[in-house]
Chains A and B, each alone.
Chain A
Amino acid sequence: MRVKELKLVITFHTTADAMAMEKCCKEANAPGRLIPVPRAISSGCGLAWCADLSEKDGLLEVMAKVGLKQEDIHKCMV
Chain B
Amino acid sequence: MIYMDNAATTMRKPEEVITAVMNAMNSMGNAGRGAHAASLSASRVIYNAREALARFFNAESPKQIVFTNNSTESLNIAIKGLLEPGDHVVTTMLEHNSVLRPLYEMEQKGVSLTIVKSDKQGRISYEEVEEAVQENTKAIICTNGSNLTGNYVDVKRIGAIAKNKGVLFVVDASQTAGVYPIDVQEMNIDVLCFTGHKSLLGPQGTGGLCVREGLKLKPLKSGGSGVLTYSKEHPSDMPTALEAGTLNGHGIAGLGAAIEYLEKEGIDNIREKELQHMWKFYHGVKEIPGVKVYGDFETELRCPIVTLNIGDYDSSEVSDELLMTYGISTRPGAHCAPLMHEALGTVEQGAVRFSFSHYNTNEEIEAAIQAIKELAEE
Contacts and interface: CB of A to CB of B under 8 A. Distances in A.
Chain B associates with chain A: yes
Interface of A: 13-20, 22-23, 34-36, 44-47, 67
Q: Is the interface of A mostly helix, strand, loop or mixed?
A: mixed
Interface stretch (B21-29, B134-142, B148-156, B232-240): B232-240
A43 to B, nearest CB: 8
Interface of B: 31-35, 40, 43-44, 46-47, 50-51, 61-63, 226-229, 235, 237-240
B226 A45 contact: yes
6 contacts: A13-B235, A14-B237, A15-B227, A16-B240, A46-B32, A46-B33
B121 to A, nearest CB: 44
B44 A22 contact: yes
Contact of A35 (B33, B35, B51): B35
Given A14-B63, A18-B43, A44-B227, 9 more contacts: A14-B237, A16-B50, A19-B44, A20-B62, A22-B40, A34-B40, A44-B235, A46-B227, A47-B43
Q: Lowest 6 A-B CB distances belong to which pairs?
A: A15-B32, A19-B47, A36-B35, A13-B237, A14-B240, A14-B237
Contacts of A22: 40, 44
A20 B51 CA distance: 9
A46 B40 CA distance: 12
Contacts of B31: 15
Contact of B47 (A13, A16, A36): A16
B227 A14 contact: yes
B39 to A, nearest CB: 9
B35 A46 contact: yes
Nearest to A67: B61
Contact of A17 (B34, B35, B63, B228): B63
A34 B44 CA distance: 11
Contact of A23 (B32, B33, B46, B47): B47
Contacts of A17: 63, 237
Contacts of B40: 22, 34
A15 B226 contact: yes
Contact of B34 (A13, A14, A23, A36): A36
A32 B357 CA distance: 45
A15 B63 CA distance: 10
B62 A15 contact: no
Contact of B35 (A14, A20, A23, A47): A47
A14 B43 CA distance: 11
Contacts of A35: 35
Contacts of B33: 46
Among B44, B47, B61, B229, find the residue whose CB has the most chain A CB atoms closer than 10 A. Answer: B47
Contacts of B34: 36, 46
Contacts of B35: 34-36, 46-47
A20 B64 CA distance: 13
B349 to A, nearest CB: 48
Contact of B240 (A15, A36, A67): A15
